[in-house]
Chains A and B, each alone.
Chain A
């Protein structure tokens, strides 16, 4: 019985994974609240031959850049002739419109249903090309290509890698049903990778973006699973006596820090990501130690502990030595996640009755509270460190939200139906 359910689930996963990717569907729509201090004015000119296409490129590029809060879209309409090649660009016109950069390009159908997309970013002041890339892609890859173009523009003009071509994971609860989903960073193309009538929590991306670790209650207790996003295959990697939870990947993707209760109390252990071998105990306290998170260099583990009387964030070496308390403001600081540069961490801080996303600098210990929702949870950094994705309780229903790590830009990703929680932003993949 159990194995047939597992087979059924696997089949379901495979079906969803391979059949659905073609149409771009948006279950999550993004609203932007607030913006960056110095927005870069940019004109995105519709690409040649884009008009007749179902999946257009430039609207996606423009929406990505606008969503970051760091760009201001300059009207690209009414310029004759429409520039598609560098020689077409009438720079004084674009400078007069206030554009610092102009994106131009073309789409050309190729044999076998493929498309060649050529894109260039021109500097309006210097009248030079900043970046130029050609892609040959299938129709199903058009939207991803648009995200990659937005990434190239973002990186060239801000100096940070773009994260528009990355993915996010989260859990949607619809009535009694829990769905672990993966979607593009803009909420499009949601895929259900696991559906269950029992809760699923704490999804965590492997560093290469090919696997998810998560906690499922399908066995009437919390058990940690690792599931491949390529094959859909899944495996229980921590299913010990008691509860198993809070998986966190080591940066090399070979190990997981997890919270186990097999020896009494919630303590942090290191296990192999394939479930082999014996767990290595890292914490030795009579208190709660949970929510581990590795530093990007793999040298430190942040975790939540109430060994001092209230839940606070601690750091320790990856062998469990040298634990030390890191948060001192307030009586409830939980859910730490390192920034990609390893210099700060985001966490949830309770202030009065509210739970909000905060960020703390590791060196200076300076804390900044970034959000003002009633119940904000599960913060995770974008892989470029510029945004933090989190869950927010709005009118009793969970939504996903984003806040820039300086607190200036705020986004809300609204699901049309269901209660969305436990988001995690995936890694940059080449």
Chain B
């Protein structure tokens, strides 16, 4: 649920960004709710007491890092501008984290699924989605992943996450998703 909410928030923020790029600079604080973990309560100033160290910032100990909502590896979507396959700066940390994970786990494979909005030829959009998936793969390769670990495929406009025919839906659907085996 939280992930869905987080995805919606991110999508909303992105949709706003893509239509009015200057909004990124207005400094309005964005609530970060990507993690499901509540921040630790501020320590009581009057009575320091014994400090109990809990790794709250990295999520629950022993949880699969790919599924841990507090881990950047649980972020799986890279969004693109219209008619673009450039990986934007804001998604570099996500791509880098997965590249590092693949570098550390040489037997792990992933699939990157490219998607487009609904406008235009289905087959051409399939190729555009492929190009987006390939762009993410290329960045991961530069950052240490092996090409044989990553299969890139495209769904083109065929599997839209947002069903609408408006700018917000289109922005949500211009996306590459990172999937590990079994997902």
Q: Could you tell me which A residues sit within 8 Å of B by CB distance?
A: 199, 201-202, 217, 220-222, 241-243, 245-246, 259, 261, 264-266, 288, 290-291, 304, 311, 332, 334-335, 348, 350, 355, 375, 377-378, 396, 421-422
Q: Is the CB of B120 within 8 A of A265?
A: no
Residues of B within 8 A of A222 (CB): 126, 153-156
Q: Is the CB of B123 within 8 A of A290?
A: yes
Most chain A CB within a 10 A radius of its CB, from B113, B120, B127: B127
Closest 6 pairs between A and B when the two form their complex, measured CB to CB:
A266-B127, A199-B158, A221-B153, A334-B121, A288-B127, A246-B123
Q: Is the CB of B151 within 8 A of A202?
A: no
8 A–B contacts, CB within 8 A, in A order? A220-B153, A221-B151, A222-B154, A243-B153, A246-B126, A288-B124, A377-B121, A378-B122
> In the complex, what's the smallest C-beta–C-beta distance from A399 to chain B, in angstroms?
16
Residues of B within 8 A of A355 (CB): 119-120
Residues of A within 8 A of B155 (CB): 199, 217, 222
Q: Could you tell me which B residues sit within 8 Å of A by CB distance?
A: 111, 113, 119-124, 126-128, 130-131, 134, 151-156, 158-159, 165
Residues of A within 8 A of B111 (CB): 220-221
Residues of B within 8 A of A265 (CB): 130-131, 134
Q: Is the CB of B123 within 8 A of A201?
A: yes
**Bound-state Cα–Cα, A355 to B127, Å:** 18
> In the complex, what's the smallest C-beta–C-beta distance from A282 to chain B, in angstroms?
15
Q: Is the CB of B152 within 8 A of A242?
A: yes
Q: Is the CB of B130 within 8 A of A261?
A: yes
Q: Is the CB of A266 within 8 A of B130?
A: yes
Q: Is the CB of A245 within 8 A of B120?
A: no
Q: Is the CB of A288 within 8 A of B134?
A: no
> In the complex, what's the smallest C-beta–C-beta distance from A54 to chain B, in angstroms?
40
Residues of B within 8 A of A375 (CB): 119
A242 CB contact (under 8 Å) in B121, B122, B151, B159: B151
> In the complex, what's the smallest C-beta–C-beta distance from B119 to chain A, in angstroms?
8
> In the complex, what's the smallest C-beta–C-beta distance from B85 to chain A, in angstroms?
10
B124 CB contact (under 8 Å) in A217, A290, A422: A290
Q: Contacts A242-B151, A245-B126 hold; do A304 and B134 have CB atoms under 8 A apart?
A: no
**Bound-state Cα–Cα, A245 to B168, Å:** 28
Residues of A within 8 A of B119 (CB): 355, 375
Q: Contacts A199-B158, A243-B130 hold; do A261 and B122 have CB atoms under 8 A apart?
A: no
